[in-house]
Amino acid sequence: MTKVDRGLAWLLVLGAVGHLFGSWSGYRQQPETLVWALSGSLAATLVAAINLLRVSRPHDRGLATVCLAGSLAWTAVALGFGSAIGNVLDPRVLMHAVSAALLAAMSLRTLTQAAGRLPPVTTREVRV
């Protein structure tokens, strides 16, 4: 299941890269709009990055909670964009919304499973 989880995060990275190039080609003559468009690419990349970190830290409930919130928020942003352009079935919308929604589901799964697990014990000798 971790491969699927990682794959979804990388799919969101791919969507962010596509957003970056699309923003550049569409708004490079409008610097104010370009900055805001690029912030969307950054946001998608950050949501993907924290989800990749979550996969490696299955005991971290705090991180899973942040991933859940971020992924749900990005799903809402993608669907909001789809609504704004009048087509929530646009491939750009679907790529971001579906991957973020599935990452939210995986984050919830991590959160519920982490509740029953204890973090690994580290044995380190401390000398004073």
Provide the pLDDT for residue 118.
60
pLDDT tier at 49 (50, 70, 90 boundaries)? very high
- Mean predicted confidence (pLDDT) in 66-83: 97
pTM of the model: 0.85
Q: How far does Cα 67 stand from its chain's mean position?
A: 7
Q: Burial code of 62-75, b = ≥16 C-beta within 10 A, e = fewer?
A: ebbbbbbebbbebb
